[in-house]
Amino acid sequence: MGLVGGNFKNFPISYEKWPPVPNDPYKNDAYHNIIQRRFKVDGDKQKKYILQALGKKWKDARCKLFHDYYNPELTREQNLALCPTGKAVTLEQWATFIDYRLRGKDFGNV
């Protein structure tokens, strides 16, 4: 599940939380084209559990990505330049993600 949920080709980082990530194309595609091809699963209860697990892995991967690539000592623009390459993250997604993570933070006179 971690490999699927943590792959940002499957689920973009630009959504703030798991519920707003669209079923089509993201959740249903991952379930049908990745999970069901590798495992024998069917039924709504199994699908619900799997999607919840994917959401948790997606959330954990986003947290790790932020901690690995965001530097609080740099400006927003400098952090945008640190957009993770090779992680299927676009600059637009990275900017949205940084803005979301920093929303409501008190930086004093910064």
pLDDT of residue 5: 96
pLDDT of residue 107: 52
93: helix, strand or coil? helix
Name every residue whose Cβ is closer than 8 Å to that of residue 92 and which is 6 or more positions away in sequence: 14
Residue 69: name the closest of 93, 40, 43, 46 by CA. 93
58 vs 14: CA distance, rounded Å? 12
65 vs 49: CA distance, rounded Å? 24
For Cα atoms 60, 61, 62, give the angle at the middle one, nearest 5 degrees: 90
pLDDT by residue, tens only, the chain of 110 residues = 899 999 999 999 999 999 999 999 999 999 999 999 999 998 899 999 999 999 999 999 999 999 999 999 999 999 999 999 889 999 999 999 999 999 877 554 44
23 vs 62: CA distance, rounded Å? 19
Q: What six digits make up the tokens of 59?
A: 């959330």
